[in-house]
Amino acid sequence: MTAEPLEQETSEASSHAQDREPAVNASDDFIRRLPKAELHIHIEGSFEPELMFEIARRNGVRIPYDSVEAVRAAYEFEDLQSFLDIYYQGMGVLLEERDFYDLTMAYLRRVSGDGVVHAEIFFDPQGHTERGVAFETVLNGICNALRDGERQLGITSRLIMCFLRHLDEDDALRTLDQAMPFRDRIAGVGLDSSEVGHPPRKFQRAFARAREAGFRAVAHAGEEGPPAYVEEALDLLRVARIDHGNRALESMALVRRLAAERIPLTVCPLSNLKLCVVTDLREHPLTRMLDAGLMATVNSDDPAYFGGYVLDNFVAARDALGLSAEDIVTLARNSITASWADAGRKERWLAGIDAIASEPAD
Ligand code: HPA
Ligand code: ZN
């Protein structure tokens, strides 16, 4: 990779769908068959309205909507905050261990037919503990489902505990203390919720302590926040991946660094469309990221709210951006490479991708 073509590619704001080589078609079935890791999925964001009603009923909790259709109709967002308000309201019906189990199991069942072989799942403990639900209740429900999901569906997983960045760092530190007895069940820490006005530097101590305790680190950055937030996540929080990272493209120096250091970006096309990070999927920066040599991956973020699981995100991005079969294979390979799965499994999945990619076209 050289600096010049990279500069040329990334400085252009327009869609690249038209400029790219004619795509060798990647069918839906081709994409489905490729082993894929999902690296950016908030488990509370996979809460489908049908399950929400069922759990609300059994817990005796009122939902301010009359029907599943009315809930779905409320999913019109103008930015991240307008989504988060509804997202926190939705998770308010989750009270018992069984609720977290059912939520997690429903996600795993839903994606197992889509070729997801490994999932790295975010959860928001503070969204539950602040309502009086015990940390252990949340963790047990999710982890029991992850264990059964691996046994029954063959999907391996890692769990990532996110700090809510609109709360203060002391709250994050208390949450980290609560997680310490369960270090073996939580692979990493993340940072989510309202980005602008809550820069990564606010959580430097919490991330330092988490890393000292052996947690890996990731952070949402550059979804709505500026490129400087991506730099802070790298330099101050020392994250291994950036969640979203769209606005990193505004800084040429940062793009070069992300490419040189092979920092994975967990990109979420349908989320970006629903939260108005892009106004049209044809303008989504995914192709510019690939053209710049960045290790981009495709993910669903909050699939129940944004209208699609990971396969839907691949298909929507292919259609809007004219992604070729080669692009799709790169994205699937990146998802495996950027994951924290066991090395032996990663090698087997990558070999599986290569075998599918080299099948003769019919
Ligand atoms: N961004 C920030 N916080 C979140 C998101 C997101 O896309 N989804 C759930 N929490
Ligand atoms: Zn997210």
* 314-348 pLDDT per residue, tens: 999 999 999 999 999 999 999 999 999 999 999 99
The minimum-distance atom of ligand 1 relative to the CA of 192 is 3
Work out the burial of residue 351: count CB atoms within 10 Å of its CB; fewer than 13 is exposed, 13-18 middle, 19 or more buried: exposed
Mean pLDDT confidence for 119-133: 98
- The share of the chain scoring above pLDDT 90, in percent, equals 92
Note if 223 is an active site residue: yes
> What DSSP state is assigned to residue 281?
G
Domain count, the chain: 1
pLDDT, tens digit, 9 for 90 and up, residues 177-204: 999 999 999 999 999 999 999 999 999 9
Q: Is residue 126 part of a domain?
A: yes
Query: Tokens standing for 352?
Result: 């599986």
> What DSSP state is assigned to residue 117?
E
pLDDT, residue 360, reads 82
Mean pLDDT confidence for 151-176: 98
Q: Which helix (H) or strand (E) holds 160?
A: strand 156-164
pLDDT, residue 20, reads 61
pLDDT, tens digit, 9 for 90 and up, residues 12-37: 334 445 556 555 689 999 999 999 99
pLDDT, residue 142, reads 99
Q: Is residue 279 part of a domain?
A: yes
Range of the domain at 149: 25-356
Q: Is the pLDDT of residue 3 over 80?
A: no
The minimum-distance atom of ligand 1 relative to the CA of 275 is 7
> Could you tell me the CATH number of the domain that includes residue 250?
3.20.20.140
Query: What whole-number distance in Å separates Cα of residue 25 and Cα of residue 109?
Result: 28
- The share of the chain scoring above pLDDT 70, in percent, equals 93
pLDDT, residue 26, reads 93
Residue carrying structure tokens 């307008």: 82
Question: What does pLDDT average to over the chain?
Answer: 94
Query: What whole-number distance in Å separates Cα of residue 274 and Cα of residue 306?
Result: 6
Query: What whole-number distance in Å separates Cα of residue 263 and Cα of residue 294?
Result: 7
The candidate with the shortest Cα–Cα distance to 158, out of 53, 54, 272, 37, is 37
Q: Is residue 13 part of a domain?
A: no
Residues contacting residue 197 through CB under 8 Å, at least 6 positions apart:
none
Residues contacting residue 164 through CB under 8 Å, at least 6 positions apart:
124, 126, 127, 171, 172, 192, 193
pTM, two decimals, is: 0.94
Q: Is the pLDDT of residue 129 over 70?
A: yes
Q: Are 114 and 310 in contact (CB under 8 A)?
A: yes
Q: Is residue 10 part of a domain?
A: no
First-residue to last-residue Cα distance in the chain: 33
- Going from the Cα of 84 to the center of ligand 1, the distance in angstroms, rounded, reads 7
Q: Which of 9, 97, 223, 283 is catalytic?
A: 223
Q: Is residue 3 part of a domain?
A: no
pLDDT, tens digit, 9 for 90 and up, residues 38-62: 999 999 999 999 999 999 999 999 9
